[in-house]
Structure 1
Amino acid sequence: MRVVIAVGGNAMTAADGSARPQDQQAAIEVAVEPIAELIRAGHQVVLTHGNGPQVGNLLVKNELAASVVPPVPLDWCGAQTQATVGLLILNALDRALAARDLPARTAVVVSRTEVAAEDPAFSSPSKPIGRYLSQAEAAVMIGHGQHWQDRGERGWRRVVASPEPLRCLDAPAVLVLLAAGFAVVCSGGGGIPVVADGSPGGHRGVEAVIDKDLTAALLATSLAADRLVIATDVEHAVLGWGTDNPVPLTGVEVGDLEALLAEGAFASGSMGPKVSAACRFARRSGKPAAITSLGAIAGALAGVAGTIVHPESS
């Protein structure tokens, strides 16, 4: 099968959230093991990943150096973290494949995701990113054109637009690599956000972040994937999370899951986007999606683990 796997950025840090280079490398060494097993089983694999902790580190550097050098924009941060995380994944995956006597054919594509310049998210930025600063520290960044909000006792925090992903511009390159036998890493962090600039085929980067799971659903559809797997730190999506009666979801039809999502059954900041992405892929492609833990991916592909989102029956 052709499988698109979305791995959260927090799966690439230490258990306590530490994002030192050695923490990220160690976490990625563990994360690629089930990926290598899928490749050994004969599946075509496309891996996309989060980059929240990695971009967070770059934002701190921007803030500390803002009085010396201008901060780099978010599209640059996205490109840098795609390349950095991609490098770590490729090196780790090459080693994991070699340990299984498999040829190492891996590639990373620094990837753009097109959004609409007129997306309403740009007129009212609301996605919080980075750390809290004092009013004086935030004023320096506001002077560089950034949007910051007063969040009370905790201080000021930057907010940016989170527009809808419309097109994975570099999906054709991924298809060529898949046809040549490569496992591919692409569209990290939801993709580098760009808008059409009015010139023939031209695009420019914008200050925004795109939900990585929604981009994963778009990417999987664009690549005609047989499965989308959203890998997280739990084996199932759960109804009543945090209550005395949690109910893990196993197999569920897309229409039923969409109804639960509309009712607010899943937290908007955690499981909600994952459920939305799984529904989008199942609805658009007519193929199953899964939400599960990294270690249960093989079982999810076999339909015996995780939350399996089925297309609507005819």
Structure 2
Amino acid sequence: MSNRKIVVALGGNAILSDNPTTQAQKDALKQTAEFLVKLIQNGDELIITHGNGPQVGNLLLQNIAADSEKNPAFELDSLVAMTEGSIGYWLQNAMQNALDELGIDKSVASVVTQVIVDKDDPAFTNLSKPIGPFYSEEEAKAEMEKSDATFVEDAGRGWRKVVASPKPVAIKELEVIRTLVESGHVVVAGGGGGVPVIEEDGKLKGVEAVIDKDFASQKLAADLDADMFIVLTGVDYVYVNFNKPNQERLEKVSIEDMKKYIDEDQFAPGSMLPKVEATIKFAEEKPGSEAVITSLENLEQLIESNAGTIITK
């Protein structure tokens, strides 16, 4: 039996299908839990992080639609916290049921996680993360006039609000998470990259930003001294020359080769690139550890035969 400490970062596709209803997302997480519980059966300690992009986008739309003097829309940090809470609840419910079905005596807890970012991070002056609905140019300019929001034209599809995407500096609830893991519990933490907060005059203050969940998950894995960091996505392997005749799947690959592929622009920004960068950072910071990119469906093969893209120093 293994006894590794593993941080698993779930992609949005592990939660949300084409159907955005609560029930559909609960059903997706029931299937997700049935795969994740295999790691616990293998004797591993599990910390689960997750994305929240579609969910926080939907919640933002609901807030915008209902915004009024009596029912004002919430700020982005609160929306991130709300989706951390709802997805955390669905996930801990699904994981607890999966454990109970197998007679595994473990509890599951989700921790609404504050992630400290640097208030001087250049991301706050170079807003890059599009969120929320598409607007016409006229609507976007009207929105900018009545608030201090920034809108940019997004790939010919319309105008969207952009917010900062600062790098994570510290996980505020790290010791709480560590205590739960060391007590043998399964922990859900750092959802959606965590709630972004800055330190100002000795106090924590929420900010209008979105932290990349892969980088926040990597930070959590490094700070917990995890043995393995798994980033789950829609494919079993990372590919170079993707969708070309000379497409090649990456199995065991060195950090140096992965950096070379980044220089060749092999990975799409905003999708595979942050996953690759986060796994490289983990493998660099913890020699002897393994960073893996694979799919949820491939977890069993990863346990049995090291299938998936495994990045090592």
**Which TM-score tier does this pair reach, normalised by the shorter chain?**
over 0.9
Task: State the match for 2:62 in structure 1.
Answer: 61
Give CA-to-partner distance per residue, 1:77-124, whole Å, 9 cap, x none. 111000100000011111111110112410000001111111111112
Paired residues of 1:296 and 1:306 also in contact (CA < 8 A): yes
Task: State the match for 2:207 in structure 1.
Answer: 206
Task: State the match for 1:278 in structure 2.
Answer: 279
Paired residues of 1:75 and 1:193 also in contact (CA < 8 A): yes
Please give the TM-score of this superposition, normalised by the length of structure 1: 0.93
* Distance in 2 of aligned mates of 1:54 and 1:184: 21
Paired residues of 1:6 and 1:47 also in contact (CA < 8 A): yes
Partner amino acid for 1:129?
I
How far did residue 144 of structure 1 move?
3.7
Give CA-to-partner distance per residue, 1:108-151, whole Å, 9 cap, x none. 00001111111111112121112202346545643243222244
Task: State the match for 1:190 in structure 2.
Answer: 193
Percent identity of the aligned residues?
Answer: 38
Paired residues of 2:290 and 2:310 also in contact (CA < 8 A): yes
Match of 2:162 among 159, 172, 186: 159
Give 1:147-296 correspondences, 5 Å limit: 147-151=150-154, 154-199=157-202, 202-286=203-287, 287-296=289-298
Match of 1:98 among 90, 94, 100: 100
SS of 1:26 mapped into structure 2: helix
Paired residues of 1:29 and 1:92 also in contact (CA < 8 A): yes
* Distance in 2 of aligned mates of 1:89 and 1:109: 12
How far did residue 159 of structure 1 move?
0.5
SS of 1:166 mapped into structure 2: strand
SS of 2:30 mapped into structure 1: helix
1:77 and 2:79 matched: yes
Give CA-to-partner distance per residue, 1:60-81, whole Å, 9 cap, x none. 0122123444321111111100
How far did residue 38 of structure 1 move?
1.2
Partner amino acid for 1:234?
V
* Distance in 1 of aligned mates of 2:120 and 2:6: 32
Match of 2:111 among 91, 109, 115: 109
* Distance in 2 of aligned mates of 1:54 and 1:78: 9
Please give the TM-score of this superposition, normalised by the length of structure 2: 0.93
1:118 and 2:120 matched: yes
* Distance in 1 of aligned mates of 2:265 and 2:169: 24
Paired residues of 2:198 and 2:207 also in contact (CA < 8 A): yes
Gaps of 5+ in 1: none
* Distance in 2 of aligned mates of 1:211 and 1:154: 23
* Distance in 2 of aligned mates of 1:146 and 1:66: 16
Residues 67 and 150 of structure 1, relative CA distance in 2, 3 Å threshold = farther
SS of 2:181 mapped into structure 1: helix
SS of 1:154 mapped into structure 2: coil
SS of 1:129 mapped into structure 2: strand
Paired residues of 2:5 and 2:228 also in contact (CA < 8 A): yes
* Distance in 1 of aligned mates of 2:196 and 2:142: 24
How many corresponding residue pairs?
307
Task: State the match for 1:133 in structure 2.
Answer: 135
How far did residue 302 of structure 1 move?
5.2
Paired residues of 2:106 and 2:184 also in contact (CA < 8 A): no
* Distance in 2 of aligned mates of 1:121 and 1:284: 23
Task: State the match for 1:307 in structure 2.
Answer: 309
Paired residues of 2:77 and 2:206 also in contact (CA < 8 A): yes
* Distance in 2 of aligned mates of 1:153 and 1:308: 36
1:35 and 2:69 matched: no
- Farther-moved stretch of structure 1 (291-300 vs 247-256): 291-300
* Distance in 1 of aligned mates of 2:249 and 2:92: 34
Partner amino acid for 2:92?
L
* Distance in 2 of aligned mates of 1:8 and 1:27: 12
Paired residues of 1:254 and 1:310 also in contact (CA < 8 A): yes
Partner amino acid for 1:87?
Y
How far did residue 153 of structure 1 move?
5.8
* Distance in 1 of aligned mates of 2:237 and 2:298: 10
Residues 289 and 116 of structure 1, relative CA distance in 2, 3 Å threshold = same
